[in-house]
Structures are given as structure tokens and as C-alpha cells.
Structure 1
Amino acid sequence: MLRRNICNIHKICCLYTAPATLLGETDVSSLNKVFKPMNYHSFSKPQNVTLIRHLSYIHEVKHDLEKLKNEPNYNTFTYRTHTCGELRPSHVGQKVSLCGWIQYQRMTKFLLLRDAYGTTQCIVNGDTNLPDIPLETTVKIEGTVALRPKSMINTNMTTGEIEVVINDLQILNTASNLPFHLRDYQKPKEQLRLQHRYIDLRFPDMQNNLRQRSTMLHNMRRFLVEKHKFVEVETPTLFCRTPGGAREFVVPTHHAGLFYSLVQSPQQFKQMLMAGGIDRYFQVARCYRDESTRPDRQPEFTQLDIELSFTNLDGVLSLIEQLLYTTFIQDIPKPPFKRITYKYALENYGTDKPNLTYDLKFKTIKYLFCDKLNDSNFGAYVLPYPNELGKLTTKYKEKIRELIKKYKTKVVLYENISKELSVELFNKIQDTIGERNSCIVSLGDNENACLCLGEIRDFIATLLLSKNLLKINNAMVPLWVIDFPLFVKGENGLETCHHPFTAPHPEDIHLLQSDPLKVRSLAYDLVLNGNEVGGGSVRVHNAELQEKLLKMLNIDNTKLLHFLNALRSGCPPHAGIALGIDRLVSIACNAESIREVIAFPKSHEGKDPLSGAPNFINEDDKKYYHIVTVD
């Protein structure tokens, strides 16, 4: 940029000349270094050089560029001099220009001006009164900074010690017929906020969330590119359907019967990049999945997609630990993060994404069932909880009944175990539950018994926390869950636990044919405070093994010939991960939903209240795309 500026100055001002003696040798030498690659030979000759005032201007350009480089400035390229969160007593007496929205006006003398960075009180003196201006009107104010009277200082505002005495007020755009006002203490319902998102974005928490998101992504890019030499590569979003994955959005073309699919992830592309020698890849990828929307799901979402060659599970986990430790906008524990197996997570917490911010584990009591000790499919678990919780209400007992139906397990609630069990049985279980006299027991199919008790654990924890009977760690608690099963049992045979490109654990490959449900995978999930925020795996890089796995999953190989050919081309071993940016930012910002950290999200129904999408299309478009609608 500096070289370009100097070149432009030289071209424009080349008619002005002065003796070389006016320039110091150091100045001539430094300019030679700049212009030598561009064959500007005149600077190496003493008889003709640029006029010294242009050299002086060049130095000013350098100084300004260095200043911009080192000091962030929110006011460059605008006609304001300061933001509404910037002014302090040190600015008293300065003439300033502010731009923003009128948040509040009172007594025809005071108004509160707000922008993205804060608020400033502005006043008029003397007999002048402020005009009656609708709230949220955008204005430009020119005035002088003054100290507030001591009795008027507002310690809740960063600009609370000063005010701006208005010399001129210019209305830039009048607000009219707003559906709601911006009051933190009285926010409208989410549907209305999403319908008028352009107003909702003015709330300070929305401003903060989107700026925090931007900062985190910027830091992640710097960490990957500058520190570890990753290459950011954009891959297509229009692709063919990926077999064995989530339901995808279909995109029609004007060729009859031919469709694209929007990618649910760049999975195939990033693996083919590994085959192509891009050995350290990442992108901030937009992904699409046509599935039900929950508080932590959106039909379109953003992930930090990472893949690298010549690595293994430990390499990827270490990379992500360092990435988050360096770039996460809240404090996170120093690596390495805790690791637990899928089996351990299931049999202690009843979920593959346990929340370890509180200590509430259940324990096995299978030893009480002598006739079931050798039955690997049978599970018996107990969840002890503090006696002070008292008896569960009818509401929570009904929840337990619903879970029994859902998981087809037997659940027994003991609210006074010393009185409800025989002395012999009580003595046997006492060593397991300790001094606690209340517990819930879940029996049946091992996995279902765990999952059922895991859901019960969640609402018991909520109850205990509400009554201050359970200590919670307010810090970030990340952990890795590893050793997932490669396959799960589906309605029509085997299904993949993650995706069909996940490598089996090398210790279990011999079980692929004889007992595939016992084969572990080299998959891993990153869990943060009970939320899955990332998932990845070591990939299959051998075409023959990949074909074998696809066959076991009843996936047609012909749909993936391009991918299999890439593996056959000498594809190196590789592994990767995708981090859910929306979830990570929502956790960091303590947002209730990922919708709070996305500028224009879909509703919980997967619709866009702002535009009304999805919409009907007209008959001409249907004809062009060969679409026929059916009831």
C-alpha cells in the first residue's frame, strides 16, 4: 500500500524537481529501495529528484499508515469525529461530531444519542429547545464537550462524566411507525424481533454478539494462517447428494430431472484437497441440513472446517486445543483437555455430551443382579441425589413415566431408601450411593437404561441448582469424547455413527465382518459445558477399505466414484474436524440460542419471518425448472 501511494505521488508530481543536495543520503537510499523494483532510476541520479515537499508528504503518509496500523480507529472514512462511547473528561472543550440514533429525549433540553459503541448525553443551552424528534431517528450532532455537574454524573455510562452541548443538529433519516422500542428491560417476543431484525440488531447485546463473533473468527484465521500456515480454500455449496448423511436441500436446474444438493458439509471436497496436496486446509463454511430446528440448530449454519494430512487423532485434538485456548473470547482451561470414552460418558452421565460444570454421576449396580452379570446387554444404574431435595412433584414423576415409555426401561424412584429396601439390600447399595437416602434406579437394555437415566439426571440437576443444592462451576469445561462406535443398528441394517468416511479403530478392524457393532471408530467430539461444539475423525484414505465400509452400509459406490478415484490417486493419511461457530459464539456470549449470535437467522420452525421465506414461486418459474406441485 505504501509503495502504491509513493508511486502515485511520484507520477503526479514528477514535473517538480529540485537539487539532490536538498535530500539526505538516507532519504535517497530509502526511496531507491522502494522504487528499484519498479525501475524508477531518476532517484539514483543526483540531478533530478522529486521536490522535497513531496518527500515530506510521503513521510506523512508513512506516519499515518503506521498510526492506522497500531491504533484502531472507529471514525475513519466517516463524517463523525468520535463514537458515542468514546468521549471522556480529557475531551472537554473539543468540538466534536457525533452520529447515531436518538434513544431518549426529555424536557426539550436533553437527548441520549446511541450508536454501536455506546451512548452520549447531548443538551441545548439557553432558550433553545430541541425539536420533537421521533425516537430511533438518525441524526448528526455537532457540539462542544463539557463536564456534567457533579450531581448529574452517571456512573452507569462510560461517557457519564461528560455531555455534548449541541451547536447544530441535522436529521439524517426520520424513524416512523416502529413496531417496538429498544428497551432492554422490555424486549418484544422473538417472532416480532426476527420479523424486524434490522431494528432488533440495534440492541447492545446483539451488537456485542456479532462483534464478538467477528473477533473470534478473525483470531482463528490468524492462528491458522499466520502461526500454522494453513490455507483457506473455498469449496462449492452446489454439489451432488452425499449418501448416508443428513437430509439435504435440493436445488432444481432448468434441465428436466437434474438437481443439485446444497452441501451439508465440505466433507468430500476437503478430503479431495488432501489428495490434491493442499495438506493444511480450512474454511469458514456455510452448511445446510434439512432437519428440524432446535435452539442449537439452524437449517443453514456456519462451521470452521479443518483438515490436515500426515496426522492422527492426537494431532487434531492438540491443534484444536491450542486454537481455542488462543482465540476463544472467554477463558478456557490450558491444554490438554480432559478425554473420556463414549462408553464412559454413557455409563456415567447417560449422554455423549455430558455437562461437567456440576458433579452428578450415576453408578452401576449390576452386581446386585447375579443372574445378569454375564449379560452385556443388561444395565442397572443408580443416580443418588441429596436428601434435601425432598419428594419430587407430580410434574417430574410424569416426566419419568414418559421416559420409561420412550426407552422401554424400568425406573424406580426411592425417596427414602433406608425404609423402602430390605436391610440386606440397603447395606449392599450403601457403599455405592454413600450417605444419600434418595436415588433413582434405571434397569433394562444397557444403552436405553443409560439414556433414560441421563435425561432424568438433567432435570434433577436443574432442580438441585434451583435450590442451591448442587455446586456449579461457572467456568468453561471442555472435554473430548472418543472411541465412538463405528456403526449403530438401524431399521434397515447398519448405519454409520458419524459419517461413512470415518476410519475404524485399528485395534478393532478384525471385527468388521464378525461383529461390526463392537468396532470402535477414530471419531471424536468436542463438548463444551454440555454442548457438542465440534466433531471430526481420522478419515479412511484407502479406497479398498472405503468401498468395504460403503458396502456394509448399503451405499451405492457408483455415486462416489469421483471420491474413490481421489483416494486411489495416492491420497495421504489425513484427519479433520468441524467446529460449530454458531454454538461456540452463543456459549461465549451466554446467549440463550444460536439465533442470538446470527445476524439473520431462521425461526425455531425453520422459517424466515423477515421475508416470509420459504415462499411460493410463480407458474413460469415452475415451468422453467420442471416443477410440478402435488397436494
Structure 2
Amino acid sequence: MPTGEMEVLAESVEVLNVCRTLPFEMKDFVKKSESLRMKYRYLDLRSPEMQRNLRLRSQLVMRMREFLCNQHGFVDVETPTLFKRTPGGAKEFVVPSREPGRFYSLPQSPQQFKQLLMVAGVDRYFQVARCYRDEGSRPDRQPEFTQVDIEMSFVEQAGILALVEGLLAYSWPAEKGPVQVPFQTMTYEEAMRDYGVDKPDTRFCMKLMDLSPVFSSTQAEFLRSALSKPAGSVQAICVPSGAKLFSAKDLEELKQTARTLFGQELSVVLVRADGTLKSALKKLLSASATEELLQGSGAQPGDLLLLAAGALNTVRPLLGKLRMQCAELLESRGMRIRSSWSQLIIRLLLPLPEDIHLLYTEPHKVRGQHYDLVLNGCEIGGGSIRIHKASEQLHVLQRILQEDPSLLSHLLEALDSGAPPHGGIALGLDRLVSIMVGAHSIRDVIAFPKSFRGHDLMSCAPDFVSEEELKSYHISVNWPAEQEGGEEGK
């Protein structure tokens, strides 16, 4: 540990407290299981890595507040975490009250509150908000999380895009390099066409290609003998150096992914060093078709082609998944293909206000004004321009979503009080920070996270409550036999 230039000669020592034997050594090179780290989180947080993560997160939030409040006149408004049940969406946590049969609900997000604030004349609102969803944890999700919630009145998508660009450029840590603005933009259709997913990682190319014309004369036989699928589009990706770097086991794993997740067969074409092909498809292709395949795909000696055929809404997501799997395989073989950061992307879904008349006749043709913010292939934010007319919102709830509008009567009444046009966006703070620091899970940027099962291993929450304690909430429960079975039983 660096000590600087100062030496201290102690004249006396006073022991302020003593430490029992620790469950693990406080050293970076000592590997600890995640469950052990979470059980003794107060010790794990002493590590330099966790200290850096929490301090970077704090600095990021401070810069965001400076930008929004001091430079753009936003008002930071706290909204309740005890609310009422919301129709649709993710499953919510319910909280009992002392009134028989009445429950609160923890909000999935401040969505209703920020729209009510627009009606109230708080024309520029933001909040670092806690959100709750009763669902299992994943590396990028847990039951409670934090988002930077933003809403504005009299705004269009271009205004929200400009604000988010400025916000991230201003708050981005200097040591992570500058943010490139303006952000790259693409439509949902472009993302699916080129990358097969709606949150593409653009740090490397390997775009999807339509090779249907190459198989126009042999397509029926190709589909029947090679892929066993009905006639459809033939899509492909070209993996640079894949033929040289991937083993037979790697190729079988790619095929297994296609079968298990998508019920599809995958055709593999290896381009040898002399330019010839190694594939079951070779016998189906003439010399001219082989040349056309190489030219159309841009494949070079040593490259690998992965082909799938069928409906576009199946083969594109399949190849999008395999594209990411191949990128990870290439990098595990020592081939660096991804830069540190991709461009930040706003995905636009062709917003057309003139579609509003279709809401009452052909609602499936209405295109909403939605947008997502994507970084390194991860969705870190999303929002939309809202419905601000009560009659339109009522129609959507009753006729399209078929939800009980009485659950949102307060919102409908508010919109009917002269709500201005408004829209906003919410950024997932946990995901954003985890990408910044290169963490594999958002749990590494949250001070006291939940486990994969949504448990707090440190305090053993959720815990059992006695029948006597539940009486005041008018709840009666028959506890399972596992009650006394320790943490695993719980």
C-alpha cells in the first residue's frame, strides 16, 4: 500500500475495537463466491473495486443532478413508494394495510406520478427513483432497482434526444473517454435487418445478410435437404477467421443453440485457405453459385458462414443470438473484435402522429412514438411521447388493452383537466454504471443487492412473520413445513 512521504511514530496506542476472524481475506486476488460476498456485504464493500464502483456511481449521479437542475431548470420531485395496483406490466409487490382487504402496491416506476406532475405544471421533472418488480434476478435485473426518471411538457422526440445526449456527455466520467455525439440512430426495422436484435451491439460488424438470391434456383432442395424448413428467406452472417479459430465442438454448440432456442437447423460453411468450401451445401451449389455465395457474403479464406432459412421473424433473431455467441468465442480465442464502447444508440419506432385516426379503426397499424437507448448491446433506457388526451387513453385501456379503467380513474381525470403534450425517458442507473465499470452483474454496483432468488443473504429477508403479528393486517397464513428449514427452506 502506498504510504506517501509521511512516517508516523506512535507514542501511544488505544484499541477502539477488535475484529474477530473474518470469513475471507480482504485482498483483491482472493476469490470469493458471490453468496459469501453478499452475506458479508459490509466487509465486501471494503474492497478497492467496490469502493471505486460506489464512488463512481455517486459522482455520476451528482453530475446528472447538476446538468438537469442547474443547467436546464428541472425540478427533482420525490414520489411515493406506497401506491395502488397498476393494470398490466410486470408483477408488483403488494403491501398489506391495517384496513381489511386493502393493500398498497410498490410502483414498478413513477410513470403515473410524472404524468400527473405534467398536469400540475411541473413542466420539467426528474428523479433518481427506486422501482420494484416481483420477478427473479438476472445479471442485469433485480427486484428493486434505480432509474433516472425524466419527463417534460411540450417536447418532441428531438428534444428528448438532445437532452439525453447532453446529459450523458456531461456526466460521463472523464477517465472512461468522451461520449461521441450526436448518437447514432436507427429504426427498429434497421436493427432487426442488420443485427437480428432490437438492442444491437455495434462495436463489431458481422451484419446479417440476405442470401436468398444465391439459392433462388436450388432453394427448394436446399431447404428440404439442409435445413428441413419450409421455403423462406435465407439469411447469413460471416464470422471472420471462424473457420480457422472455431473447433468442431464450437460449431456443434452453435448448432445446438439454434435447435434448442429457436427450433431451427443451422447450415455451416467453412471457407478453406484455397477458397474452396467445406459444407454439406457444396453439392447443392454449382461453380457459379459458389462464386456468387462468396461474393455476396464477402467471405474470405479462413472465414465461416452461418446460414439459416425460414420466416424472417425467426431466422433474424436466431442469427442475432449466434452473432453475439460468435463474438464471445472469437475473443476467447484471442481475437479482439469489440472496441471499449459502441456508439450510444437511440432506436426509433417510426413515430407518425398522423396515425392517430387509425386508433379507432385499425389499432394494430398505429405506430407509437417510442425510443430506446442502447449501449454495448444493452438497453439502458427507454421512453415515449405519451397519450395526453383522456378520451384516447380511455379507448386504449378499454378497447385495446381490455383493462379496467377504474384502476386508473385518477390519471384519466387528471388528463381531462387540460394535460399538456408531454414525453420522457428513464435511464437504468444500475445497468449504466455496470457497463461503465465492466461489471458482469449490476449487483457489483449496488451497495446491498439481492441474490438471484431475490433474497437479502445478509439479513435473511424475506423472512417469516408470526400469526400474531399478521392479525393486525387481517392476514392468516398456513406456513409451509420448510419454515424451520433454514435459509434454503425459506
Normalising to structure 2: TM-score of the pair? 0.87
Pick closer, same or farther for the CA change 1:175–1:531 going to 2, 3 Å. same
C-alpha contact 2:185 2:346 (8 A) present in aligned 1: yes
1:481 aligned to 2:347? yes
- SS of the aligned residue for 2:299 comes to coil
Q: Aligned runs of 1:2-17 on 2, under 5 Å? A: none
1:350 aligned to 2:196? yes
Tell me the equivalent position of 1:189.
33
- Distance across 2 between alignment mates of 1:381 and 1:598: 41
Q: What residue identity is the alignment partner of 2:325?
A: F
Return the offset for 1:242: 1.3
Return the offset for 1:176: 0.8
Moved more, 516-525 or 395-404: 395-404
Tell me the equivalent position of 1:456.
322
* Unaligned 5+ runs, structure 2: 220-230, 481-490
Tell me the equivalent position of 1:569.
417
Tell me the equivalent position of 1:380.
234
Q: What residue identity is the alignment partner of 1:385?
A: V
- How many residues end up aligned between the 2 structures? 452
Return the offset for 1:368: 4.4
C-alpha contact 1:389 1:464 (8 A) present in aligned 2: no
1:200 to 44, 51, 62: 44
Pick closer, same or farther for the CA change 1:419–1:302 going to 2, 3 Å. closer
Tell me the equivalent position of 2:366.
519
Pick closer, same or farther for the CA change 1:574–1:221 going to 2, 3 Å. same
Return the offset for 1:317: 0.9
Q: What residue identity is the alignment partner of 2:296?
A: T
- SS of the aligned residue for 1:257 comes to coil
Tell me the equivalent position of 1:541.
388
Q: What residue identity is the alignment partner of 1:530?
A: G
- SS of the aligned residue for 1:534 comes to strand
Tell me the equivalent position of 1:92.
none
- Distance across 2 between alignment mates of 1:470 and 1:178: 40
C-alpha contact 1:537 1:576 (8 A) present in aligned 2: yes
2:71 to 203, 227, 232: 227
Return the offset for 1:161: 4.3
- SS of the aligned residue for 1:359 comes to coil
Pick closer, same or farther for the CA change 1:600–1:312 going to 2, 3 Å. same
Tell me the equivalent position of 1:556.
404
1:178 to 17, 22, 45: 22
1:393 aligned to 2:248? yes
C-alpha contact 1:239 1:263 (8 A) present in aligned 2: yes
Q: Deviations over 1:389-423 (max 9, x none)?
A: 43443355245324334323342222247353312
Return the offset for 1:476: 5.1
- Distance across 1 between alignment mates of 2:188 and 2:410: 33
1:466 aligned to 2:332? yes
Tell me the equivalent position of 2:353.
506
Tell me the equivalent position of 1:251.
95
1:277 aligned to 2:121? yes
1:291 aligned to 2:139? no
1:531 aligned to 2:412? no
Moved more, 160-169 or 320-329: 160-169
- Distance across 2 between alignment mates of 1:221 and 1:306: 11
Aligned-pair Cα RMSD in Å: 2.2
- Distance across 2 between alignment mates of 1:315 and 1:270: 18
Tell me the equivalent position of 1:55.
none
Tell me the equivalent position of 2:487.
none
Tell me the equivalent position of 1:70.
none
Return the offset for 1:240: 1.1
- Distance across 1 between alignment mates of 2:194 and 2:342: 20
1:608 aligned to 2:459? no
Q: Deviations over 1:549-597 (max 9, x none)?
A: 2221111212111111111111000010111111111122222211111
1:264 aligned to 2:108? yes
Moved more, 252-261 or 295-304: 252-261
C-alpha contact 1:536 1:578 (8 A) present in aligned 2: yes
- SS of the aligned residue for 1:588 comes to helix
Pick closer, same or farther for the CA change 1:382–1:205 going to 2, 3 Å. same
More strand as a share of residues: 1
Pick closer, same or farther for the CA change 1:510–1:468 going to 2, 3 Å. farther
Return the offset for 1:628: 3.0
Return the offset for 1:467: 2.5
Q: Aligned runs of 1:33-112 on 2, under 5 Å? A: none
1:418 to 277, 280, 284: 277
C-alpha contact 2:356 2:366 (8 A) present in aligned 1: yes
2:206 to 327, 346, 360: 360
Q: What residue identity is the alignment partner of 1:598?
A: I
Return the offset for 1:295: 0.6
- SS of the aligned residue for 1:285 comes to strand
- Distance across 2 between alignment mates of 1:443 and 1:514: 35
Return the offset for 1:483: 0.5
1:169 aligned to 2:16? no
Tell me the equivalent position of 1:625.
473
- Distance across 2 between alignment mates of 1:607 and 1:357: 35
- SS of the aligned residue for 1:173 comes to coil
Q: Aligned runs of 1:146-157 on 2, under 5 Å? A: 157=2
Q: Highest CA radius of gyration, 1 or 2?
A: 1
Tell me the equivalent position of 1:116.
none
Moved more, 165-174 or 214-223: 165-174
C-alpha contact 1:282 1:307 (8 A) present in aligned 2: yes
C-alpha contact 1:324 1:332 (8 A) present in aligned 2: no
- Distance across 2 between alignment mates of 1:227 and 1:347: 39
C-alpha contact 1:410 1:444 (8 A) present in aligned 2: no
Q: What residue identity is the alignment partner of 2:332?
A: S
Q: Deviations over 1:136-189 (max 9, x none)?
A: xxxxxxxxxxxxxxxxxxxxx3x3444323233222111112211201110321
Q: Deviations over 1:243-277 (max 9, x none)?
A: 12111111111222111110000000100100110
C-alpha contact 1:220 1:323 (8 A) present in aligned 2: yes
C-alpha contact 1:389 1:469 (8 A) present in aligned 2: no
Pick closer, same or farther for the CA change 1:360–1:186 going to 2, 3 Å. same
Q: Deviations over 1:79-119 (max 9, x none)?
A: xxxxxxxxxxxxxxxxxxxxxxxxxxxxxxxxxxxxxxxx5
Q: What residue identity is the alignment partner of 1:418?
A: L
- Distance across 2 between alignment mates of 1:266 and 1:574: 15
- Distance across 2 between alignment mates of 1:555 and 1:286: 26
- Distance across 2 between alignment mates of 1:514 and 1:381: 35
C-alpha contact 1:333 1:476 (8 A) present in aligned 2: no
Q: What residue identity is the alignment partner of 1:424?
A: S
1:338 to 169, 173, 184: 184
State the identity %: 44
C-alpha contact 1:246 1:264 (8 A) present in aligned 2: yes
- Distance across 2 between alignment mates of 1:202 and 1:345: 42
* Unaligned 5+ runs, structure 1: 1-118, 120-156, 485-503
- Distance across 1 between alignment mates of 2:189 and 2:167: 27
- SS of the aligned residue for 1:443 comes to strand
C-alpha contact 2:270 2:277 (8 A) present in aligned 1: no
Tell me the equivalent position of 2:226.
none
- Distance across 1 between alignment mates of 2:458 and 2:267: 48
C-alpha contact 1:408 1:448 (8 A) present in aligned 2: no
Q: Deviations over 1:307-332 (max 9, x none)?
A: 00000111011101100000112323
- Distance across 2 between alignment mates of 1:590 and 1:303: 19
Pick closer, same or farther for the CA change 1:388–1:412 going to 2, 3 Å. closer
Q: Deviations over 1:343-396 (max 9, x none)?
A: 111121121111122222121223346599xxxx95431011124543443355
Q: Which has the higher contact order (CA 8 A, sep 6+)?
A: 2
Tell me the equivalent position of 1:27.
none
- Distance across 2 between alignment mates of 1:216 and 1:204: 18
- Distance across 2 between alignment mates of 1:250 and 1:607: 17
C-alpha contact 1:413 1:441 (8 A) present in aligned 2: yes
